[in-house]
Amino acid sequence: MKCVWFIVAQLTIVSVVRTSGNVIDYFRGTGNCIRAPSTCPNENIVFYLYTRDTQNNPQVLDPSNIETIKNAKFIEGAELKVLVHGYTGNKDYAPNPELRAAYFQQGEYNIITVDWGALAQSPCYLEAAYNVKDVGICASQLLELVYANNPAVTLDNTHVIGFSLGAHVAGVLGSSLTSGKLPRLTGLDAALPLFDKVINDKSEIIDSEDAEFVDAYHTNQGQRGRVSTFGTVDFYINNGAYQPGCNCNSSCSHYRAVEYFAESINSEVGFYGTKCISWYLLKYGFCNVNELESLVLMGENISYNLTGVYYSFTNDRKPYAISAGRYYDVDIETDRVDINCGFL
């Protein structure tokens, strides 16, 4: 039953195929869609560096002008966060403003935003999905230039975070690096449409091999987000399909992945999950959701020792975090899943 909404999504696509003859036509854009050339640098991919001091006036890192990288005002010793938006996004679209604000509230960071908005514009989803590989490769090359030309930044202090289609870009970035392996990569509700079915090259899809540690968060599985696991550790939040308070709205549920992760950066309460291979085993009491020792922290401050599948719960409005002590109050049957959205 975990795959109910995945099946619904696939049946929707099948119905389109029967009428149009080609699933690709369903996602093909009708506007001025751009397919990225397989060369880097690419004028449609712009890299912005933010620090606390420059967060309102970011510096452009131009891979065709090495001086912009050598002279960039990276904060020595500060962790590098690389943020990648998804479909219809840009540098000021999720997850960028949410995560930048949260990180700078906490402390000093170097944050690079990958803006590939010109290659991910609506209504060009098909083209955006096909552009993922080229954007990821160009982003990896930019990071290689940064590591080679600015001693303030190192690979072992880099964390890449991607939302939706951006999660797949992040995966390609990680697998394309030649100087070593990323220590951490985070996928926030990695995009489902076209992936695995049409785009099925493993190198273009985020997976657990793209970094030493890949943490994955599912909030709209079977609709906008992937159903299958893809991380070293996967968290299915509120069953990972429709989020409480979203009233069966897939866009709202998809975006919650960003909101939860952003809140986790400074939360004094913390987001917790419990290990279980199936929602239904959890629902019927076969996993220890109410035992404090079974709960693990998810989000920004996650332990890199975690592996496997976890289920976690949130409030239906901000602040979303539920403290470990309050997990005793969680009613999985009625509070965490909206049966009107299709999950029983």
Name, in order, each residue with C-beta under 8 angstroms of 184's C-beta and a sequence gap of 6 or more. 158, 159, 160, 211, 212, 213, 214, 215, 304
State the pTM of this model. 0.91
Q: Look at the block and give the residue holding tokens 């968290």.
A: 235
CA distance 76 to 80: 10
Q: What is the CATH number of the domain that holds 165?
A: 3.40.50.1820
**Mean pLDDT per 10-residue segment, the chain (344 residues):** 40 38 57 90 98 97 98 97 99 99 98 98 96 98 98 97 99 98 99 92 96 99 96 97 94 99 98 91 78 86 98 95 75 56 54
| Tally of domains within the chain | 1
* DSSP H or E run through 252: helix 250-266
pLDDT of residue 20: 38
Instruction: Categorise residue 200: left if φ over 0, alpha if ψ from -120 to 50, beta otherwise.
Output: alpha
pLDDT of residue 32: 84
Q: Residue for token digits 């880097």? A: 40
What pLDDT shows up at residue 241? Answer: 93
pLDDT on residue 286:
83
Q: Which residue, 234, 245, 304, is CA-closest to 273?
A: 234
Cα separation, 315 vs 294, whole angstroms: 20
Domain coverage including residue 105: 4-341
